[in-house]
Amino acid sequence: MKKILFFILLSSFLTNTVSAQELNNLFSTLSERNLFKGSAVISKSGKTIFSNTYGFSNIEKKEKFNDNSRFPIASVTKTFTATAILQLKQKGKLTIDEPVQKYLPDFPYPNITIKQLLNNTSGLAQYYNLFDSIIKEQPEKIISNQDIIPTFIRFKTPLAFLPGSKWDYNNINFCIAALIIEKVSGISYANYMEKNIFDPAKMKDSFVPINRKIKGPNQVELYMYPNFYSTDFANINTLKEPFLIFEKSNFYGNGGIVSTALDLQKYQNALFTYQILGKKELEEALTATILNDGKKATYNLEGKEMSYGLGWGMYTDESNGKIVFHDGSITGLTSILAHNITKNQTVILLSNTGNCPVYSILNTVLQLMDNKPYTIPAQNLSRIYGNLLENGDKEKANQLIDDYLKNPKSYEATERDFNRLGYHFLRLQKNENALLTFKTGSLIFPESWNIYDSYGEALLQCGKKEDAIKMYQKSVELNPNNENGKKVLSSLLKA
C-alpha cells in the first residue's frame, strides 16, 4: 500500500481532526466496492493530512498508481481558465464586463461579455452537434478552439437564450475564454498556463497537451463500464465515444489540463493564499452569479442547491462553511477539487474510471473531517441486479431486491438508473430482462408515475397489450398531467 501521510507529531493540529487511518478505511472500502480508483489528497490549513492511491493506473499491465501518476482533470480546468482571465484583469489587460467582440472581433454575438462566458450565462449553443456538418465534409479534420467562431458565422448559429437571462453549463464558453487569453497575452494557452500558474505554483507534473489523445509520461489509462449492467471496467480505447465531437476534437480551456492530485493541492494552496491571483479577483470568482432578473443563478446537484461564480461552483448552504468546488467528467475519468474556505479544508479526488461518485465521496469526507455522522456511498443496485439478470441468475437477482427492500441503505438505487437499465435491455432486444427490470423498478418506486409509464411502453413493445394498459392506467392515476401516457392509453383502449 502507498505511504499514508500522518502528522501525528502535530498533536495540537490534529485535535478534533480526522485521522489518516479513518480516511484510509473509508477509501479502502470505496475501492473494494469499485466506487473509487485513483488518487486522493486531503489537506487542512495548507497541511496534507492524507494522501493515498487505490487501484491501477493500467489495469491490463497491473501497474499501480504513484504520486506522479498524471490524470486529465477534465472540467477542473475551468478554474484555471477563469484564474487566467482574472490575472489579465488584475494586470489591466482586459475588463470582464466588456464584450467578447472587443478582443475577438469576428465573434458574431455583440452582447456577450467575458464575464458571461465565465459564469455560463452567455446563451451560446452547446457543442455536441455543432460541428456535425464539418466533420462529415472533412472526416480527417480535428476540431479545435479556432474552428468555433467560423462555425458560428457559417451556420448563423442562434443563441439559446438572451445573454444573462439563464444559467446553462457550457464547455464552449471556456473555449472562447481560452482564445481571449491567447489574444490578450500573445502566447498560447498552454504556454500561458505554464508561465503564469504551473511554474509559480510549483506544479512540476502538470501540462496542457498539444494533442489530448497522445498520453504524456506517467499518464494513466482510462476506464469505464461498457454498459449499464457490467460490473467490470473496460479500457475506453475499446469503447465508442457517445458523441462524434468527442472523438474528432481537441478543445482546450474547458478541459484538457493533465495534472496530479499533489499538483492540484499546490494550485489550490497558491490560489487561496493569493500567490497567483489577488484577493479582490478571487473573491469576484467566488461570488454567486446574478441573472438579469436579479435572481441568483442556481442548479441542483444530487439534492443540494449550488450557485456558480466565475469558473467555480459553490454550495448555497454555508452552514458548514463556504465551500467552493469544480468537478470534471470525461469518458473514463472523474475529478473534483473542493475547498472549504471557512475551515481551510481541501479535498482533491482524481479517478481513472468514469462516473465515479466523487461528489458523494466529497460530502462523506467533509462529514468525516468534521467528526459528524456519515454514510459511505453504496454500490449501484441496478448495475448489480442487471448483471445477475444478464448472467441468467434470476433467483439471486430476486433475492438481491428482497434484501434491499428490507435494508434500503445497503445499496444506492434511483428510479433513473432502473429506467436506463430497462431501456438498455430493451434496445438490445433482451425483452425478458427489460420487463423484469421495469417490474422491479415499480416495486422499489411504487409512487413513480414515470417508471409505470416506462413499464407500459416496454410491455407494449413486447406485445403484451393488456398488461401495458394496466401500467399506463397506473401511471396516469399517479400523474394526471402525464399527457403522453393519456394519449397512448386512449389509443390502446380504442383499438
Select from 345, 369, 393 the last residue of a domain: 369
CA–CA distance from 441 to each of 227, 397, 427, 434, 470 (Å)? Answer: 18, 13, 18, 11, 16
**Are 335 and 451 in a shared domain?**
no
**Are 78 and 211 in a shared domain?**
yes
- pLDDT reading at 478 higher than 60: yes
- pLDDT reading at 110 higher than 90: yes
Q: How many folded domains does the chain comprise? A: 2
Domain-located, residue 48: no
Q: How far apart are the C-alpha atoms of 174 and 172, rounded to whole Å?
A: 5
Q: What are phi and psi of 101, to 5 degrees?
A: -55, -30
pLDDT band at 165, cuts 50/70/90?
very high
In the 8-state DSSP scheme, what is residue 213? T
Domain-located, residue 41: no
pLDDT above 90 as % of the chain = 91
**Are 142 and 215 in a shared domain?**
yes
Phi-psi region of 456 (alpha: psi -120 to 50; beta: other; left: phi over 0): alpha
Q: Please, what sign has the CA dihedral across residues 308, 314, 315, 317?
A: negative
- For residue 126, give its domain range: 74-369
Burial of 290 (0-12, 13-18, 19+ CB in 10 A): middle
Neighbours of 10 (CB within 10 A): 12
pLDDT at position 18, please?
79
Domain-located, residue 31: no
Domain-located, residue 43: no
pLDDT digits (tens, 9 = 90+) for 400-445: 999 999 999 999 999 999 999 999 999 999 999 999 999 999 999 9
**pTM assigned to the model:** 0.92
**Are 358 and 391 in a shared domain?**
no
